Amino acid sequence: MAKKDAKNPAIDEKAFVDATSEARSRYGRFNLAIVGSSGVGKSSLVNAVFGRDWAKVGRGLPVTRGVQFYSDDSLGIWDVEGFEIGSPVPPDQQLRNHLDAIAVQSGDQQISVVWYCVKANDDRLTPADIAMIRELDARGLPVILVLTKVDWIKNPVTGQRGVAKDVQAFVDWLNDPVDTATGQRLHVPYRRVILTSTRDRHGKGKGHGLGDLVTETLSLAPESDKDAFRIAQRLNLPWKREMARPIIATAAAAAAGAATVPLPVSDALTLAPIQLTMMGRIAAIYDLEVKTMLSAGALAQFGVQVAGRALATSFLKLIPGAGVVVNAAVAGALTAATGESWMKICELLHTGKIDVRKLDQEWAKHAPSFLDVAKKMLERRVTKR
């Protein structure tokens, strides 16, 4: 809690903490199953798409031999081993046993989408792979066949990326699988084949195909899990902005409503809970506790500083039109501008572009200016016409 001071009235950080907790509870967790043998590149995919070392995602729960569950607030990973060669248990039965073990877990641990991973240079799906994919589909689980460790070749003239002929032949076969012995088409019910790499051929860079993988995963996720996936993934920032902007608009409207009867500037801090609620919800969208390793309390304390500075008497007095009171237009515009600035900070923290230890300096760079607030006032007037 903030300490009370006669010159600096306390702002209660509870609104931020409660809003973050409520948002996390409402969005829930996205649970992904990744099936594949050791060395196929599963952990690299998780790190590239979700920004997590999955051994450090949270707790590792050994559900049964061949299955591990790793989770934090927004992401659950089921690591399911591929078929164990030499096992007397058929591959579909082996997987069926794994899925039975998962099915008895709590509802918030159930699988939404499956990535079935095969190394691109394997050049084939084995009968075990086909049997396991069919079993996943029989359980109603959407399967994306992910080719990993693709060696992309860049055309020096066009700049376009392609793959080696043998890999392309494999992809062509996967798009229309045929039993080479009988010539009959095979039923292998994955939804799409996506080629991926998490590094370029020199072991550097961000890889390729990951954007397609993220887009397809979202499209296959149940509606109730889509927002959780948007939060957990780190590659598509526009999705997060789309979630955050309605929160900013709602908070701006609430602040304007609270100042329908103009507030003396000395009472402007009564708007702080509205701003802190907005900031807490946006922090949940950007998964800041996971990305920054800061506790909810530490984030809330920084949120209090942000709200306190934005609502400081000296700041409000200098806003054109504010005078000695805060009217609805100023309250709404100031909250909207603060929300946009907070969203930028969250995005920079989420992508690791700023040092969490230097938040004060970073906020000083991105805090809303008088011009930002004036622009928001103008935007709101235009919108109301």
Q: pLDDT tens digit string along 260-308?
A: 887 776 677 788 899 999 999 999 999 988 777 677 778 888 888 888 7
For residues 247 and 267, state if they share a domain. yes
**Which residue range forms the structural domain that includes residue 180?**
29-232
CA 300 to CA 263: how far, in whole Å?
25
CATH number at residue 78: 3.40.50.300
Kindly report which listed range (148-152, 193-197, 223-227, 228-232) carries the lowest average pLDDT score: 148-152
Phi, psi of 2 (to 5 degrees): -70, 145
Counted domains in the chain: 2
For residues 156 and 243, state if they share a domain. no
CA 316 to CA 319: how far, in whole Å?
5
Query: Model confidence at 326, in pLDDT bands (50, 70, 90)?
Result: confident
Beta-sheet strands, E only, within 155-228 = 161-162, 192-195
Asked whether residue 18 is domain-assigned, the answer is no
For residues 227 and 252, state if they share a domain. no
| Three-class SS state of 204 | coil
Asked whether residue 23 is domain-assigned, the answer is no
Q: State pTM to two decimals.
A: 0.86
For residues 213 and 75, state if they share a domain. yes
Asked whether residue 12 is domain-assigned, the answer is no
Three-point CA angle 344, 345, 349, nearest 5° = 120
Highest mean pLDDT of the ranges 71-85, 95-109, 290-304 = 95-109
Closest listed residue to residue 171, CA positions, set 148, 141, 151, 147:
147
Q: Tell me the two tokens of residue 220.
A: 């296959």
Q: Tell me the two tokens of residue 156.
A: 């020096």
For residues 227 and 245, state if they share a domain. no
Query: Model confidence at 375, in pLDDT bands (50, 70, 90)?
Result: confident
- The mean pLDDT value for 162-185 works out to 90
Q: Indicate whether 195 pLDDT > 60.
A: yes
Asked whether residue 82 is domain-assigned, the answer is yes
Total Cβ atoms within 10 A of residue 215: 15
Beta-sheet strands, E only, within 4-95 = 30-36, 59-64, 67-71, 75-81
For residues 173 and 252, state if they share a domain. no
Three-point CA angle 310, 292, 231, nearest 5° = 90
For residues 258 and 221, state if they share a domain. no
Asked whether residue 253 is domain-assigned, the answer is yes
Query: Model confidence at 187, in pLDDT bands (50, 70, 90)?
Result: very high
Q: Indicate whether 343 pLDDT > 90.
A: yes
Q: Across the strands, what pairs with 71?
A: 59, 76
Helix (H) or strand (E) holding 209: none
End position of a domain, from candidates 199, 232, 265: 232
Asked whether residue 277 is domain-assigned, the answer is yes
Give Cα separations from 166 to 88, 120, 122, 157 (angstroms).
Answer: 33, 9, 10, 22
